[in-house]
């Protein structure tokens, strides 16, 4: 099996060396070249033919966002124009905003640069833990070796498992996503009406700062109100609550007024926030009257939670393989038999509207 060919783009000599050294220690990865700015990176693509590019954001001459746009504008849908790109970001307001701009421009995912670490060794370990799994996921390779499983190779979905309990009309919508999720959500949530008859709770695997910026961006795009979740907020139809980075989002209350809750309990599926935590709590609070949606993402977060939803009479939608950046999370749900419908991204919003109760008319003065 040929190793994954990676090009490292960063204006910092130190960062280029750290990333190159980390990747070179993995037998499944080879660094085929580096570049100190976006313009040289774009110029080298045809020569180096990388399977994936890691891209810094702040660089001279051509920054990372401009480079992503230039790569994605490659002629005729060439292989070059479709190469997976992982951005290197900082955990700052400016870094989060720039990263979201890069994802909108066509980058596939991002990792955060090590901050406040005491040694080069700790920096390397931080990069290794974040970057290597994403490189392998985006290039269709298993995390622990073995034959490649390209994302283009279709996997037959497993039919949904028989229901234990009759299907219920949903009283809440819960959504989980990860790699590729920010762009997927910008294609789903803006298509939902302001008069959506249920509250929406959402886990997108993102660090602190990023989730607040992302909520603000979605709020500008959507008829729905989109907010970063705050503990103790009553749940009302037509509002989307996004789990803040590093906090699990749950629902409290089983009757009357149900509210959001946040906690920093143990990570699940290596994630906090975790989709499974949200889905379990929604099932308990709404006695199974839940519509769960799992979009693109690496890993298997959401597989157990969607099983709970279906067992309790809820309904599950999973994004299909062809339109997922990484078919890890929705693939795990589908292959477990937990998906009632497996749909391309462009049909998810229509299915949500179809499965929810009839929307009520907007009250006078309501948000549009």
Residue 226 CA to its chain's centroid (Å): 17
Catalytic residue among 51, 301, 320, 340: 301
Q: What is the pLDDT of residues 225-235, one digit of tens each?
A: 999 999 999 99
State the alpha helices, DSSP H only, in 88-231: 93-105, 120-138, 181-188, 210-221
Q: What is the pLDDT of residues 51-106, one digit of tens each?
A: 999 999 999 999 999 999 999 997 545 667 889 999 999 888 889 999 999 999 99
Beta strands in 12-164 (DSSP E): 29-35, 52-56, 85-89, 109-112
Which residues, in sequence order, are CB contacts of 52 under 8 Å at separation 6+?
Answer: 4, 5, 6, 7, 83, 84, 85, 86, 135, 138, 139
Please give the class, per CATH, of domain 4-138.
Answer: alpha beta
Q: What is the pLDDT of residues 106-144, one digit of tens each?
A: 999 999 887 655 678 888 898 899 999 999 999 988 655
- Which CATH number is 172-355 given? 3.40.50.180
Instruction: Reply yes or no on whether 246 is catalytic.
Output: no
Range list for CATH 3.40.50.2300 in the chain: 4-138
Q: What pTM was estimated for this model as a whole?
A: 0.91
Count CB-CB contacts under 10 A for residue 233.
15
Catalytic residue among 10, 89, 109, 205: 205
Catalytic residue among 178, 281, 300, 324: 178
Closest CA to 6 of 93, 95, 105, 135: 135
Instruction: Reply yes or no on whether 301 is catalytic.
Output: yes
Range list for CATH 3.40.50.180 in the chain: 172-355
Instruction: Reply yes or no on whether 205 is catalytic.
Output: yes
Q: CA separation (Å) from 223 to 213, 227, 230, 290, 348?
A: 17, 13, 20, 22, 17
């Amino acid at each position: 099996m040929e190793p994954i060919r990676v090009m490292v783009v960063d204006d910092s000599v130190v960062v280029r060396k750290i990333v190159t050294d980390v990747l070179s220690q993995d037998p499944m990865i080879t660094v085929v070249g580096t570049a100190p700015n976006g313009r040289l990176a774009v110029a080298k693509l045809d020569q180096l033919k990388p399977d994936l590019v890691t891209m810094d954001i702040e660089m001279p001459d051509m920054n990372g966002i401009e480079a992503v746009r230039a790569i994605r504008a490659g002629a005729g849908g060439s292989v070059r124009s479709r190469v997976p790109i992982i951005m290197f970001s900082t955990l700052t307001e400016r870094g989060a905003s720039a990263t979201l701009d890069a994802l909108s421009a066509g980058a596939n995912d991002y990792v955060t640069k090590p901050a406040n670490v005491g040694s080069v060794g700790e920096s390397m370990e931080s990069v290794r833990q974040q970057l290597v799994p994403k490189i392998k996921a985006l290039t269709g390779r298993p995390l622990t070796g073995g034959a490649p499983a390209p994302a283009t190779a279709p996997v037959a979905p497993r039919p949904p498992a028989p229901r234990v309990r009759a299907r219920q009309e949903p009283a809440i919508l819960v959504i989980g996503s990860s790699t590729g999720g920010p762009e997927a959500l910008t294609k789903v949530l803006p298509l939902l009406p302001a008069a959506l008859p249920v509250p929406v709770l959402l886990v997108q695997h993102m660090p602190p700062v990023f989730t607040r910026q992302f909520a603000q961006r979605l709020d500008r795009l959507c008829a729905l109100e989109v907010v970063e979740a705050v503990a103790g907020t009553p749940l009302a139809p037509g509002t989307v609550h996004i789990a803040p980075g590093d906090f699990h989002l749950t629902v409290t209350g089983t009757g009357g007024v149900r509210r959001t809750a946040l906690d920093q309990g143990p990570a699940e599926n290596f994630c906090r926030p975790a989709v499974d935590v949200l889905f379990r709590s929604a099932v308990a609070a709404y006695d199974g009257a839940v519509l769960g949606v799992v979009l693109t993402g690496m890993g298997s977060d959401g597989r157990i939670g969607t099983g709970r939803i279906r067992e309790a009479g809820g309904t599950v939608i999973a994004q299909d393989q062809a339109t997922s950046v990484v078919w890890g999370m929705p693939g795990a749900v589908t292959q477990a038999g937990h998906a009632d419908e497996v749909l391309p991204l462009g049909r998810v919003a229509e299915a949500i509207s179809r499965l929810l109760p009839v929307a009520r008319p907007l009250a006078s003065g309501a948000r549009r």
